[in-house]
Structure formats: structure tokens, C-alpha cells
Amino acid sequence: MRRFWLLFSQTITVLLAAYFVVATLKPDWLGRRPGGVIGNVTLFEAPGTPAGQPVAGSFSAAAKKASPAVVSINTSKTPDRAMAQDPWFRFFFGERGNEPQVGLGSGVIVSPDGYVLTNNHVVEGADEIEVILNDARRTRAKVIGTDPDTDLAILKIELDKLPVISLGNSDQMEVGDQVLAIGNPFGVGQTVTSGIVSALGRNQLGINTFENFIQTDAAINPGNSGGALVDVNGNLMGINTAIYSRSGGSMGIGFAIPVSTARLVLEGIVKDGQVTRGWIGVEPNELSPELAETFGVKARKGVIITGVLQNGPAAQAGIRPGDVITQVGDNDVGNVSELLSNVAALKPGVATPFELQRGNDKLKLDVTPGQRPRPRMQRAPR
């Protein structure tokens, strides 16, 4: 018995010694890889995932699919020489007025023909626009068209073998879906951040005329404007546009224009040179108790019309100041933003039924919309 225990202890000692030698000299035999040396301590890493296989919970596949089509945009604007030479301007601002104004943003290649989607405020007023691809290629871009009402712009670049992003279906998104924001924040280089869809259909933010934003907590910072918001499959779901921030950086409240809106703008500008929208010529306001009392309206929902353009489409159809529009076609109207969006979606020249309330009476009128005039003034970049 004593001999048995002696043999057993010697065997264990030999095995432990062998394990120590292998672990020190050939750690890969044990499924561990050297992770570096700090002083006299050797570090080891856990076994990795085989090459080409994504790690569970990783968004690397989506990032690899979408990132090549996301570009950086550098803009420059020549200063106003007359202003720069003004003595008072030079007194307050010095010689800085002679330097070109530069801007930074992002964009998304959506066509092998070289069309790039970005924000209007990224390229607005720029004299020169440079697009930098993720593979380090650089080229000048020209503006094909802009749509200030949605803050979108279409650029065109001339390069071969362009990476193109796949367009998703933003109408199928739901709150809680995971998303990635890809862009060039602060000019540090292309960056991918992750988050979820926090809300859908955000409007009345005072950012654009037509608002239907996707809200996300994926980090969006200055320089991300015009970049891509993609789903976990790498499909484009939105164009990152704005953030709510008290510090200038991300606070977890970002807004993106849905790709469904961007697609309509893209098609309109590429085919017709502009986006065609319906227009009826009214001044709408939110229905408040004060306005309802002023116009003697008993309606509890809808949008009250406080002004009607003489001889405009609404006036010709019989709409008057004080009327409350409750429905456009088959779509209910609850606020000004919804009215603008529903009217803009109408085809000019095609009559559409409007439901409204006038005093205690409910009416149904057919309105033939005209074409919405283009904005006379462009908004300042945000």
C-alpha cells in the first residue's frame, strides 16, 4: 500500500512538471495564446474565434458591410472679400476673414453611378466639396440637388468600383431595434457606434419643415451629419441629421431621416431635378382652446386654419379661416407636422377628399393641390 501511494505521488509530480513546462514553452498546445509580457509576468488570452466567424453578439458583419459606402465630406467656402476688407469687420475679427471657412460631415454612397446622400446643411453654401472614401480615395463632388425642407442633398462623384450601401425598409423598424451609426465625428476618422431605436415618427422639433425622425441613442456627434444609420444586417435605415445636446456632444438623443424619405428625395432630384410635393396654400396652427374659442370651433382634434391664400387650391375648394382639418385622404391629422406631411405627399393636380369641421358642422371637400413652391431662403447650417 505504501509503495502504491509513493508511485501515485511520483506520477502526479511528473504530470504537474510536464504541464508547467508545456504551459510555459508551448501555451498554444493548451488552447491559450501569449498575450504579452509585463515585467516577468506572461499574460495569456482566451481562445479566439476562428478567422471569418463573427463573435456572438458582435456587429462586425454589419459594420464591414456598410462602412465602405460611408464617406467623409470636407467643404470649404471662400470668404466674402468685401466683408473681409471692411475696417470694422477687420477690427472685430482681425485677418481671419481672409481664411476660407471649412466644414466637416459624412455621406453615404447609394448608387454605383456615384450618387451620395448627405445633409443639406453639410454642403449648403460650399464652393468646394471633397469626398474621402473609406479606402482613402479622394475626389471632388458636385451638388446634383438639395431639398432644404428635409435637409437632404444629393452629390455626384466620378470614381470606378464604388462600394454601395443596401437600402433597407425604415417603415418596418420598431422601437427597441438595434442600430449602428457610422460617420466621421469630429474628424477623427470613420467611427461606428451602436444603440437602439428610441422612438419613431419624431416631429415638431423645429429642425426641418417635414419631420418624421428616427430617434436613437447610438452616439451621434458633430461630423456624423449625413452619415448612415444601419440595422444589424448593415442595411441603410436613415441619414443621421441632428442631436439634442447641451454640451455639443452626444447625450444619447440623436435623430435620423428615414431612408423611405431619403429615397423619395433621391428619386425626385435624380429624375426631375427637384422634389415635387403637394401644396394647398393655407396657414395651419395647432388647435388650442384659445384659437378654438376665437373661431367658434367645437372640434377637439385636428389642425385649425388661420389663413387661406386667395385663389389658392384650398380657397378654390372652399376652405376658410377657422376650419379644422381632421383628415387628408385616408390619413387622420392630429398636428401641423402631420398635415404638412400628408399634403406634401399628394400628387399635384389630383383631387383629394379633405374632412374638416366648421363650427359644429362636419364637412367633406375635394381639394386639388398645386405644386409646393421651393423655399425662398435656405436655413443656416446647424
Annotated active-site residue 225? The verdict is yes
Instruction: Name the grid cell of 236.
Output: 441603410
Q: 64: which residues sit within 8 A by CB, 6+ positions away?
A: 234
Catalytic, 121? Answer yes
DSSP 3-state percent helix, strand, coil across the chain (nearest 5): 25, 35, 40
Catalytic residue chosen out of the listed positions 67, 106, 225, 341? 225
Nearest to 237 by CA among 313, 181, 161, 305: 181
Sign, CA dihedral 359-360-365-367, equals positive
Torsion of CA 284, 290, 293, 295, to 10 degrees: -30
Read off the C-alpha cell for 269. 432630384
Q: Give exposure, 174-205, as e/b (b: 16+ Cβ within 10 Å).
A: eeeeebbbbbbbeeeebbbbbbebbebebbee
Of the residues 121, 149, 198, 217, which is catalytic?
121
Please tell me the distance from the alpha carbon of residue 364 to that of residue 145, in angstroms, as a whole number.
Answer: 38
Q: H helices of 155-286, where? A: 259-272
Contacts by residues 314-319 (CB-CB < 8 Å, ≥ 24 positions apart): 314/280, 314/281, 314/282, 314/367, 315/281, 316/368, 317/280, 317/354, 317/365, 317/366, 317/367, 317/368, 318/365, 319/280, 319/282, 319/354, 319/356, 319/365, 319/367
Count of CA atoms in the C-beta half-sphere (13 A) of 135? 10
Of the residues 151, 217, 231, 323, only one is catalytic, namely 151
Cβ-Cβ contacts under 8 Å for 364 (sequence gap 6 or more): 353, 354, 355, 356
CA gap 266, 107 in Å, rounded:
13
Burial (0-12, 13-18, 19+ Cβ within 10 Å), 250: buried
Active site positions, annotated: 121, 151, 225
